[in-house]
Each structure stands twice: as C-alpha cells, then as structure tokens.
Structure 1
Amino acid sequence: MSFRTTWNVGGGNIVGFSRLMRRYTSVRRSVLDMAAKDGELRVFVVSGEVSGDTIGSRLMSSLKKLSPVPVRFSGVGGTMMSSQGLKSVFPMEDIAVMGLLELLPHLNKLRVKLQETIEAALLFQPHVVVTVDSKGFSFRLLKQLRARYSQKSFEIPVHFHYVAPSFWAWKGGEARLRGLAGFVDHLLCILPNEEEVCRSNGLVATFVGHPILEDVCELNLDTSPHEWKIEGNSEIFRRNHAIPTGATIISLLPGSRLQEVTRMLSLFANTIELLQVSLPELVPLIHVASNQHVKDFVTGFTNKWHVPAILIPGGSLHQKYDAFSASSVALCASGTVALELQLARLPCVVAYRAHFLTEWIIRYKAKISYISLSNILLDSAIIPEALFHACTPAMLASLTSKMIHDTGLREKQIVAAEKVTRLLCASAKNLHNLEELHRRLSLPCYTPSMIAASTILCHVRS
C-alpha cells in the first residue's frame, strides 16, 4: 500500500460502476443499489468530538468523490463536517463529554440530545447511518434507531461504526464486543488485529488504516511507506511569532474536550513554571482544539496566566506541524495527538488525569499496562507516561526536562515512530473495493477515508 497524493477525479463512469457492482449484489442489494433507486445516497453521520469531526469530514469528502450518485448528509458534527455539507442537528459540543463518573451530571442533557438525533435520523430516511467513535452515545443511537425502524416497519438503513471500541483494553471486552452484532452492520477498524478479533466474535469488520495517516496525503507529501513523516517549517514559525533563536519551545496539547482541558491545562501551566527555573527562555505553545467551549476556556486561562504563551488554533495542518517542527518536546494529554507527534517525529510525554473514581475503575478494569497507543502497539514504554496520582507538575517537569536534554531518549522515540506508522496502514487484502473503483473510475489515493468510503459503498446487506 502507498499513499498517492495526486487527486485525479474524472467525471465518473456510471456504466462501468454498474458492471462492477453486479459483482457484489447478485440477489442481495448493495448500498449503492439502494441509493440508485432514489437517485441519491443519503448518509446520516454523527460525531461527538473534535477527532471524530475530522474523521467524519474526511469520510464525507471521500464518499462524494467515490459515489456515482449525489450524496446528501445530515447528522451531528462540528466545523470540519459542516465544511463538507453537514447541517448539524445541534452543536457537536453538546455531546462532547468524556470519562465515566464525569458523565453523571450530563445524563439528562445527553438523553434529550439522543432523542433529537433519533428523530432527525428517522425524518431524513438515510440509506446509511455512520457513527464515529464516541461509543457511549453512538451505540445507544444505533440500538434505539434499529428498534424504532422495526416498530415502524421501515427499511432499516445500514449501520456503520467508524473506530472500533477499545475492547482489547478492558477485562471482558471481547464478550461485550459480541453484543454489537445486533445493531452494528459493519465496523470500520483503525488498528491492526482489531478486524480479526471482531470477525471471530461475529461482526463484519474491515481494517481501513489509522486516520492520522491522512495528514500525509492532505499536506500533499510524496513519501514512501518506510518514511511516513511530516516535517513542518520551523524557521517560518519562529519568524512569524518573533521567537528568539536560543529559545526552547514546548508544545502543550491539553486535549479536545472541555472537561479534559480544564483539568490538564492547569497541570501543564504549573509544569511550565517549574521548567522555567532551569529554562528561562522557555516558550510554551498551546494547541487549541476546534471546540468553541475549549477556545473560550483557553483564551480566558491564558489572559490570567503570567507566562506569555502562543495559542495555535486547530484546523490548520500546516500551522500545527510547523509548530511541532519548531518545538523541542511536547507535553500532551492521552489520545490520538500522541500519534500526530510521532508522525512529526517530535518526542513527547503523555499525561492523564480524571475523576478519582474514574481512575479507580480504570485501574480495576483495564488489562493493558500503557495508555498511549504507540506504547500499546509496541508493548514497550517508548513514550514516558504520567498517569493518575503520579501525574503531577513535578513529575511532568522531570520527565519533560529529561526528554529535552537526553538525546538517546529522543532518538528512541523517533525510531519507534517509524515502526508505529507502518503498523497503522491497512493490509493489501482490504484494498480490493477501492482498487476496482480506482481502475474503473479514475479515482484517487489509498487513504484510510477512501478505503472506508469504498467499504461503505460496496457493502452488501446480508
């Protein structure tokens, strides 16, 4: 598999596509058969967080490129999905809640939003429903939708869930996985080995590759599979922000959800103050997620903070990776962002704090030793982690200082990043739909969203 960064979309060959689809249909009907009958493909897509908004927007773009019939969208999403034509039923931030115990104060609001989403989906009459991550909200939505469609004797749309739940991380996870077959028709997996485990538990699943690899294609970088990385322009970044040559830059990534950011940013701020004792010319960059509640909080926080900080708004890949390139190290909340840092070859320290009861439940239920995906995939503590009660400003300052000054530790992460990015690519056997579409319709590259979109379009209802 390789990324091709030339987007060469022709007008589409519907006759050729019809011949292709006969390979998949026989007596059964594919998604595109159902869409062709109505002259359009209707997709109801739901995301409840910033990372899901990015995944959803790229999927929407790929569906529009691959489908020989017009595609119309409805659902719930953020600014990225809106840019692809989604009119969100309500602001995505209304359901962007993380944690276990942290959910309790928001349960009633989430129930209301769930019912609003169900009613909007029923009104839209989609051919396909796609939920992206946010498994708590997503699985309740798919389950209740299926029940409502059955009650009304309507034709049930095909239900896809993009980003398989992390069953591998929890005790009893595989047993809970089997229950999804009743309301999820197809799981789109982003990690290696998930497809095999899902299939062995009665689910239809496809490993499409990790969405983080989309950044390479979006930035139009022509790089070989063994050199997947993104190098920003540190000189331009320093010049644009008037940062002195001798200054040490540290990227702070406190998360994408408001609850997470309010907890982590204060920890990171205290860490910076400790680091300034030995690094007086320290310049902190705060990467701000594309979430209005988060933007407002971070702006208010930095206005009161006596340390000058540069805010890096979400949404611009060039600006983000330029900032990474200029940084010596990153301090980040646990999540997908650690993979972005590896793609940029920027050494980092991962931090995680939550409500103390949530932390207790995680300790009791988790069956893995690490929290960052790179460490999990390699089964090694390549990236330093400060978790739970050990996640203090003093510990974070110590780990970050070592990462800044120890060349060996930095090099170890860079070498590991090359291994991790190779693991995150879809296997050749899952490219057949897209390869056939590419040959018949002169369509573009093998990004995860393209593989996911082709999987959706060629899915045959069983």
Structure 2
Amino acid sequence: MWFRTIWNVEGGNVLGFSRLMRRYTSVNRSVIDMAAKDGELRVFVVSGEVSGDTIGSRLMSSLKKLSPIPVRFSGVGGTKMSSQGLDSVFPMEDIAVMGLLELLPHLIKLRVKLHETIEAALLFQPHVVVTVDSKGFSFRLLKQLRARYSQERIKIPSHFHYVAPSFWAWKGGEARLSGLAGFVDHVLCILPNEEEICRSNGLVATFVGHPILEDVCELNLDTSPHEWIIEGNSEIFRRDHAIPTGATIISLLPGSRLQEVTRMLSLFASTVELLKDSVPDLVPVIHVAANQHVKDYITEFINKWPVSAIMIPGGSLHQKYNAFSASSVALCASGTVALELQLARLPCVVAYRAHFLTEWIIRYKAKISYISLPNILLDSYIIPEALFQACTPAKLASLILNMLNDDGLQEKQIVAAEKVTGLLCALPRNIQNLEEPHRRLRLPHSTPSMIAASTILYHEKPS
C-alpha cells in the first residue's frame, strides 16, 4: 500500500521510483523510509507550555501535509495539539512549571508524569520522538527513553528537540550542550546563533526560523521577511468592546504559566493603579494564555482591579493583533510575546520577577545583559526592562509613562522591529537544503514548521 502512496507522491515515474529504491537500499535510512514499512508514521510529541503547544500543533500540521504516508500522534500537549489529532496522555498544565527553586514543590508530581510519559512512548512504538522546549522535562524524557530502549533492546527512534536550550546565555553553559549528543539526534533551532553553537559542540542542528513568524502566514499576509508586520484592526476592537475613541488602551501580558501569572498579575494591577490618575480613560486589556488554570485565576483576580479591564482569551490571532493595534503600549512578562509585539510594531516594557533565590542564581550565572529576545538579538537596550528587585509597580509605571509621552522611544522600537524579524528568518541555505520533494517550498510555505517537518521526515540514522 505504501508503495502506491509514494508512487503517487513522486509523480508515478520510473525516475522517481528508482530514486526511492536507491534510498531504501542505502545504509542510512530516513525516518519516512522506516515508517513506510509500517504504512504509517508514528510521532510521539511532547510540549509542556502554551508556546510549545502552538509550535507543536504547527509542526503536526506540517508533518501531515508533507508526509507521503498517514501520520499518527501520541504524547503530551494542549488544546492546539489536540486539534491536530493528539490524544494527550495527561493535561499539559500538569508539567507547566518554570523557575529553579520554584520546581521543588512539584518534583514528586513531575517524576510521576515523567514515568507516565515514558511508558506511553514505549507503548506507542514511535518512529520519531519530538520534544518541544521545556528542556528540564524534555531532556529527562529523552535520556530515560534512550536508556529504556537500550535496556530492552528495542530499536531506538530518532529523537528531536525543537527549540534549542539557551545554554549560550549562561556561564559555562555551552559545555553542557555536548552532553546532549548522547540522547538527542537533531536540534531544531529557532534563533540564528544557535545552529553554529550546537554544531560546534557536536550536535546535529538546523536553524528553521522562529515560530512567531508563522503568525504572519496564518493570517495570510503576503509580505517579504524584512517587511513582516501584522496590522490588526483597532476600529473593530474598539467597536466590539465599546471603547471610546479617546481612551488609552494598554495591553497587559502576564505570562502563560500559572506560577508566572500569579506573580506578575498583582504587579501589573498595582502598576495600573498608579497609572490611572496620569492616563485619562485608561483601559487595560489582559491577554489570557490558552491555559485553563491561568484563565480561571485571571477571571477571579480581575474583579479586584482598580479600573475596569478587558480579558482577551488566548487562541485567536485576529483578536490578539486587533488589541495590539488599538493599544498605545504593552506591558509584558519576559518571553516570546516580546517578539509578537515586534511583529505588531507595538512599543512595550518587559518585566520579570521570580523567587529571590532564583533571581540571585540568574544574576550570578547569566552572561548576557538582557532578558528580552529583541534586546539579545540586537545586543542593545531597545526595549526597557524592569528585572528582579527593580521590577516594582513604581518602576513599571514610570517606564510606561515615558513610553507614552516620548515619540522617539516608540520610534526606536518600531525601527528595531524590522531588523529583529529579518534575523528570525531561516537561512537561505537551510531552505535550499530541503529534501528534493520539498525544495519547491517558498514563502508562505517555507515556514519554520514546514522546514522542521521536512528535516524530521528525511533525517537519516545509521541502520
């Protein structure tokens, strides 16, 4: 059956068939070659947070589009991955924990979930295992899975990790990369510097481009990389929420994990309290991540706010970018959202707080001066950051007022955004190096998830 399927994909010609036969008789066989023998590609994919759920769902969609044989999924994910056909072993929120010391109260539960995930993977018998970000859980999973496969003398599937660990940001961190080669076959990198760093430490790696750029493609915007910008409809947003024309809207993005949101949202509420006298008709818009625990917490917390606030549920890109378009400035927790704001050309302030011991460790171990990706990529203090003990309502309110009242500061971020989005595109050679059936992919089809999917399908392991 799979011969007929591949015959159709290759165009039903003798040249295509002979090329496939040479592939099947080679010493190294790709993931799709080995899966074709079983008539299906089984992918075990794991994500532990909201951003990873989005990345995972887009990867799943791309695998289904590019694979010449049916694809079946198992693993751990959220609502978006479930919509692509994943029956999650348990709710993704069970492992959505961040921080260093913050992990301690959750260690027993995480160990139980790790065991459940390993057993589910062994039962599924995947051709490929893909972990998305969440390196603490992901690396333990891949390492213990490989040990179990070796112990039980089962053929080891290809192991991919999507989103390279940011060891480059830590003192002595790069040395830790070399240890990953023992249980990670291929790293899919999303930042331009990571591919070279991974390869210099003995890892097979590919820079596929940053997943945030797929927002442009999902909204069907036809622009070149250096012109990538998402212009939402501010009028629709104001109309739908009955917001007067003269009101000042501030987008608030407190994070995607409950642990993070409980810490940041109270700071944001106090900041709004300080701003309300200086900013007439202030309308805070709280963007809620697609995490049920987070949604429940914010819904209850919002009743205590000093001014009436609007909640925007996660999941709808149109609502998100319409809100961004209507906003004058954004206040966000450190994370990928800073890049979303760059796409929207919305000036922002980045905030970060954690347990005081976690903050002390970060201060001691970090070797970079910034925490937001745009600043890191440009090595410049483009976006104001309020970090650690300096992240107070008074400091945040001051930074926001400066941004609202200084057109020069706003313009500086808008100009920098073009450079940042350009840096996040996949390297031309990585697009040209796609397997032959996929070389025709061009924007908007040569998305990070499409490049990642092609890389996975044609990754070769020694027999």
Fold conserved (TM > 0.5)? yes
Aligned-partner residue type, residue 459 of structure 1: H
Q: Which amino acid aligns with 2:148?
A: R
Amino acid at match of 2:396: L
Structure 2 residue aligned with 1:395 = 395
Distance 2:23 2:418 in 1: 37
Q: 2: distance between equivalents of 1:217 and 1:448?
A: 11
Measured after TM superposition, the shift of residue 431 of structure 1 is 1.2
CA distance in 2 between partners of 1:224 and 1:440 (Å): 17
Checking the alignment, whether the CA contact within 8 Å between 2:272 and 2:306 is kept in structure 1 is no
| Residues 16-51 of structure 1: CA deviation (Å, up to 9, x unaligned) | 776665676622110011110100000000000000
> Which is worse superposed, 389-398 or 27-36?
27-36
Task: Tell me if 1:54 matches 2:63.
Answer: no
1:358 aligns with 358
Paired position in structure 1 for 2:349: 349
Using a 3 Å threshold, how does the CA distance of structure 1 residues 138 and 405 change in structure 2: closer, same or farther? same
Equivalent residues in 2 for 1:223-238 (5 A)?
Answer: 223-238=223-238
SS of match in other structure, 1:251 = strand
Normalising by structure 2, report the TM-score.
0.95
Deviation at 1:441, TM superposition (A): 9.6
Change (3 A) 1:269 1:78: same
Matched-pair identity in %: 84
CA gap 1:358/1:246 in 2 versus in 1, 3 angstroms:
same
Counting only pairs closer than 5 Å after superposition, residues 305-324 of structure 1 correspond to structure 2 as: 305-324=305-324
Of the two structures, which has the highest relative contact order with CA contacts closer than 8 Å and spacing of 6 or more? 1
Query: What pairs up with 1:21-170 in 2 under 5 angstroms?
Result: 26-170=26-170
Tell me the SS of whatever aligns to 1:265: helix
Matches within 5 A, 1:213-292: 213-292=213-292
For 1:220 and 1:242, locate their aligned partners in 2 and report how far apart those are by CA, in whole Å.
28
CA contact (8 A) 1:329 1:400 kept: yes
Change over 3 Å in CA distance of 1:441–1:423 after alignment to 2: closer
Would you say how many aligned residue pairs link Structure 1 and Structure 2? 452
8 Å CA contact 1:208, 1:449 repeated in 2? yes
Q: Could you give the per-residue CA deviations for residues 38-79 of structure 1, whole angstroms, max 9, x where no partner exists?
A: 000000000000000000000000000000000000000000
Alpha-carbon distance in 2 for matches of 1:156, 1:435: 23
**1:435 to partner: Cα distance:** 6.7
Q: Distance in 1 between matches of 2:383 and 2:316?
A: 26
1:124 Cα deviation from its structure 2 partner: 0.1
Contact 1:437 1:443 in 2 (8 A): no
Q: Determine the C-alpha separation between the residues in 2 that align with 1:263 and 1:168.
A: 27
RMSD of the alignment, in Å? 1.7
For the residues of structure 2 that align with 1:46 and 1:102, how far apart are their CA atoms? 21
Q: Is the 8 A contact 1:237 1:326 kept in 2?
A: yes
Q: Deviations over 1:349-391 (max 9, x none)?
A: 0000000000000000000000000001101000000000000
Distance 1:405 1:66 in 2: 49
Q: How does 1:303-452 map to 2 (within 5 A)?
A: 303-434=303-434, 436-438=436-438, 445-452=445-452
- Measured in 2, the distance between the counterparts of 1:138 and 1:327 equals 36
Aligned-pair distance for 1:277?
A: 1.2
Kindly indicate whether the alpha-carbon contact (under 8 Å) linking 1:433 and 1:454 is maintained by their aligned counterparts in 2: no
Residues 316 and 151 of structure 1, relative CA distance in 2, 3 Å threshold: same
Contact 2:168 2:174 (8 Å CA) reproduced: yes
Taking the aligned partners of 2:89 and 2:350, their CA distance within structure 1 comes to 34
Shift of 1:442: 11
Residue 200 of structure 1: how far off its partner (Å) = 0.9
Shift of the alpha carbon at 1:445? 0.7
Equivalent-residue separation in structure 1 for 2:226 and 2:387 (angstroms): 32
Distance 1:316 1:171, change over 3 A: same
Shift of 1:438: 3.5
Cα gap change, 1:312 to 1:444, in 2 (>3 Å): closer
The letter for the 2-side match of 1:264 is M
Deviation string, structure 1 residues 110-130 (Cα, Å, up to 9, x no partner): 000000000000000000000
- Tell me which amino acid in the other structure corresponds to 1:268: F
Q: What is the rounded CA distance, in whole Å, between the counterparts of 2:54 and 2:30 in structure 1? A: 27
SS of match in other structure, 1:111: helix
Stretches of structure 1 lacking an aligned partner (at least 5 in a row)? 1-10
SS at match of 1:59: helix
- String of CA shifts for 1:371-412, please: whole Å, max 9, x gaps: 000001101000000000000000000000111110000000
CA distance in 2, matches of 1:106, 1:65: 38
In the TM superposition, residue 209 of structure 1 has moved relative to its aligned partner by: 0.2
Deviation at 1:428, TM superposition (A): 1.1
Distance 1:77 1:105 in 2: 22
